[in-house]
Amino acid sequence: ARLDVTERRSFTAFLGAVEAASGPPDVLVNNAGIMPLGPFLNEEEAVIERTIAVNLTGVINGMRVALPGMVERGRGHVANVASMMAKLALPGAAVYTATKHAVLGLTDTVREEIAGSGVTLTTVLPSITRTELISGIPLPRGLPTTDPEDVARATADSCANGRHEVHVPRWMGAYDAVEAA
C-alpha cells in the first residue's frame, strides 16, 4: 500500500488497508527518514521543513494513528527507528540530529503516558547503516557502521523483549555510560 508518512490521512488509509487485509496491527515500525547534510546556516527552509516532516512528523503520525487501537486492545508494540545521532552531534547534520533527538524524547514520553496499557515502545538507535541514505557521503574515519539486516533483526527482537532502547550494534549502548562519565 502507498504511504506518505508526512500526511496523517495517508497513514490512516495505509493502516486501514493493513487492517482490512490482515486484521489490526500488533506492531508498527516507524522507519522513514531522510538525511540532507550541510552547514546549518546554509540549509534551505524547504529542506529543513521536509526533514522535520519525514523524520519527526511521520513518527508522530504513525503513533497517533496506530496507538489508540493498540491501547484499546491492551497489546501492541511500536518501534521508532531513530539513530545514534539522537545522542551524538555531527557537524553538518544539525536538523537531522534534532529530529532524531525528538524521536527519542517523543518515544520516552509517550511510553510513560501509556504505561500499564499493555503496549510497549522501543527506540531503535542504529549507527550509520549501509544503505542508500549514506550513499556518496564521505564518512569520518572510525565511525561505526552496521548492515540493514542487523537493524531489522534488532527491531524485530524489540517486539519480544520490549526494551526501551536498542542500540545497533549493541556495543554502542556503552556510549551512554561513557558520556555520563
Phi, psi of 126 (to 5 degrees): -80, 150
pLDDT tier at 180, thresholds 50, 70, 90: very low
Which tens digits make up the pLDDT trace of 24-59?
A: 999 999 999 988 889 999 999 999 999 999 999 999
Which tens digits make up the pLDDT trace of 116-157?
A: 999 999 999 987 655 566 555 555 566 666 677 887 888 899
Nearest one of 20, 18, 8, 15 to 60, comparing CA atoms? 8
> Of these residues, 87, 96, 107, 120, which one is catalytic?
96
Percent of the chain surpassing pLDDT 70:
82
Q: Tell me, what's the pLDDT at 129?
A: 55
Which tens digits make up the pLDDT trace of 60-78?
A: 999 999 999 999 999 999 9
What does the DSSP 8-state code read for residue 20? H
Phi, psi of 90 (to 5 degrees): -125, 110
The CA-atom distances, in angstroms, between 69 and each of 74, 75, 151 are 8, 9, 26
R_g over Cα of the chain? 16
Residue 175 designated active-site: no
Mean pLDDT of 7-13: 97
CA 88 from centroid of its chain's CA atoms: 15
Cβ neighbours of residue 6 closer than 8 Å, sequence gap 6 or more: 53, 54, 57, 58, 61
User: What are the grid coordinates assigned to 149, written together?
Assistant: 539486516
